[in-house]
Amino acid sequence: MSKKLLIAGNWKLNGEKKDISFIKNLVKFNSIKLSKNVDILICPPFTMIDRFCQLTQRSQIQIGAQDCSEHDFGAYTGEVSANMLSDLNASYCIVGHSERRLYHNENNNLLNKKILNVQKNNIKAILCIGESLLDRRNSKTLRVLGNQLNGALKNNINPNLLEIAYEPIWAIGTGLVPDYSDIEEVHDYISNKLEKLYGKKSKKIRILYGGSVNSKNVFQILSIKNVGGALIGGASLKIRDMKSILKQFI
Ligand code: PEP
């Protein structure tokens, strides 16, 4: 089954009022170049989701969050719930980015709760998984990824509201990209694992690659078997780079 690619920008801790021009520019670009082959997603900080959702309402561009709480509401100072994201019309939520795992000690149990919460609110979860450089050097990559998938995807996760992003930690923001044959091996492994978990329904799940994707390498990476899109950090912050990435697929 051929799927639309998903090209997603993760803005991390970047984005202020002045950056609203980015989304206006992207909407204009999208109105000229309608995309049949690609779903376009931008995940700005929480503070910009509402405005971005309003500005993209009549376009094909979707807006998502970079994280959310595992709780619905209540005494959890500083948290933002999936219900709140749904109230703003966000359609995706990244869960388990390696920076959340590393700086906020997020483990697979917690991520499982977050995914369940996201899906309960009819939002698609993008579960990030990835190995460290040490894991790769010790040939533990597939074992680590398998554990991350088993841990985060238990308790009746809905495969229809799920995407996976394979992001080797050592490739994020470093300019390093795995050999393409290694990306293929990992995506093949994830695809088989999802098939075991969800049968035919797994075919709808896109497996994105993330880690130093830019306008020069994106086409080759997205041509690799079982790569269903890209999760892009640094290069998603500049409208020129984003357009040059998107133009290669629409
Ligand atoms: C990311 O933030 O998920 C990411 C892959 O970043 P970068 O593209 O900058 O490596």
User: Per residue in 132-157, pLDDT tens?
Assistant: 999 999 999 999 999 999 999 998 99
Q: Point out the residues of the chain with pLDDT beneath 50.
A: 1
Pocket of ligand 1, candidates 14, 103, 212: which has the most ligand atoms within 8 Å of its Cβ, to mutate? 212
Per-residue pLDDT reduced to its tens digit, 53-82? 999 999 999 999 999 999 999 999 999 999
Q: Does 167 participate in catalysis according to the annotation?
A: yes
Q: Does 97 participate in catalysis according to the annotation?
A: yes
Phi, psi of 126 (to 5 degrees): -110, 100
Atom 7 of ligand 1, nearest CA residue: 233
Whether residue 178 has its Cβ less than 6 Å from ligand 1: no
Matching CATH number, 5-249, of 3.20.20.70, 3.40.640.10, 3.40.390.30, 1.20.1250.20: 3.20.20.70
Q: What is the pLDDT of residue 35?
A: 76
3-class SS string, 205-219: CCEEEECCCCCCCHH
Whether residue 210 has its Cβ less than 6 Å from ligand 1: yes
**Count of residues making up the chain:** 250
Pocket of ligand 1, candidates 163, 176, 232, 238: which has the most ligand atoms within 8 Å of its Cβ, to mutate? 232
Q: What is the pLDDT of residue 1?
A: 46
Indicate the pairing of strand 38-43 with strand 207-210.
Answer: unpaired
Q: Where are the domains of the chain?
A: 5-249
**Which of 243, 208, 230, 191 shows the shortest CA–CA distance to 1?**
191
- Integer-rounded Cα Rg, in Å, for the chain is 17
Q: What is the pLDDT of residue 2?
A: 66
Phi, psi of 191 (to 5 degrees): -60, -45
Query: By 3-state DSSP, what share of the chain in percent is helix, strand and coil, each rounded to 5?
Result: 45, 15, 40
Q: Which among 97, 106, 131, 163 is annotated as catalytic? A: 97
Q: Are 186 and 194 in contact (CB under 8 A)?
A: no
